[in-house]
Amino acid sequence: MNRVYYPKLPDTTHEKPERSAIGGDTHISAAIKSPDFSESRGHSMKTSTEIGSIAQHIGEERAVEATAKAGFDAWDFSMFTMGSDGWAAPGMIAAGRHLVTARHLRQIGLDNGILCNQSHAPFPSPKMLDYLKPAIECTAEAGGKICIIHPDNDGTPEQNAEMYARLLPFAKSCGVKIATENMFNWDSETDEALFAACATPESFSAHLDAVKDADLVACLDIGHAEMRGVGTSAVAMIHTLGERLQALHIHDNDRRYDLHQIPFSQSIDFAPIVKALQEIHYAGYFTLEANSFLRQYTEDTLMTGLRQMSEAASKLAAMFAGALD
Q: Which is nearer to Zn ion, 23 or 144 (CB)?
A: 144
Q: Which is nearer to Zn ion, 32 or 234 (CB)?
A: 234
Residue 129: CB minimum distance to Zn ion, A: 19
Residue 208: exposure state from Cβ atoms within 10 A (0-12, 13-18, ≥19):
buried
Write out the residues near Zn ion by the rule CB under 5 A: 221, 249, 289
Q: Decide if 50 contacts 288 (C-beta within 8 A).
A: yes
Q: Which residue is nearest to Zn ion (CB)?
A: 249
Residue 289: CB minimum distance to Zn ion, A: 5
Residue 181: CB minimum distance to Zn ion, A: 6
Name the DSSP class of 12: S
Residue 98: CB minimum distance to Zn ion, A: 22
Which are the contacts of 195, defined by CB distance < 8 A and separation ≥ 6? Answer: 184, 185, 203, 230, 231
Q: Which is nearer to Zn ion, 62 or 120 (CB)?
A: 120
Q: Where are the beta strands (DSSP E) in 55-126?
A: 74-78, 115-120
Residue 245: CB minimum distance to Zn ion, A: 14
Which are the contacts of 293, defined by CB distance < 8 A and separation ≥ 6? Answer: 53, 251, 260, 261, 262, 265, 305, 309
Distance between CA atoms of residues 133 and 136, nearest Å = 5
Q: Which is nearer to Zn ion, 100 or 116 (CB)?
A: 116
Distance between CA atoms of residues 86 and 79, nearest Å = 11
Q: Which is nearer to Zn ion, 76 or 289 (CB)?
A: 289
